Amino acid sequence: MYIVTKRIEISACHRLDLDYPSKCTNLHGHNWIITVTCQSETLNANGMVEDFTAIKEMVQGRLDHADLNAVLPFNPTAENIARWICEQIPTCVRVDVQESEGNVASYLR
């Protein structure tokens, strides 16, 4: 089994749609750290599980310096972002989204 991991840092803002009072319902930003783990029993024609650059472009290209509420079709919690990223990459098995020190959400397929 082959496993590759790509760590990406982005800056982005969001506001959360919550059913309780919270300062997070106001627009605010984070310096996010996103870790994408991909796995495959075989390598592609280029000898890779996934191209690291393609992973970076998919995440950073769509989310860096963005208003996540404007680019994502769901409430952009760290949990929802992790699931969405994992669903964009066929070989992805895990995504960790750290929105601030000590706050990490993970999604495993």
Amino acid at the residue 62: R
Calculate what percentage of the chain has a pLDDT beyond 90.
100
Residue 82 backbone phi and psi in degrees, to 5: -60, -45
Q: What is the mean pLDDT of residues 18-32?
A: 97
Q: Are strands 2-14 and 66-67 parallel, antiparallel or unpaired?
A: parallel
Taking all residues of the chain, what is their mean pLDDT, rounded to a whole number? 97
- pLDDT value of position 6: 98
What's the pLDDT at 31?
97
pTM of the model: 0.96
Q: How far apart are the first and last CA of the chain?
A: 16
For residue 10, give the CATH number of its domain.
3.30.479.10
The domain tally of the chain equals 1
**What domain range is 7 assigned to?**
2-108
Q: What are phi and psi of 72, to 5 degrees?
A: -115, 140
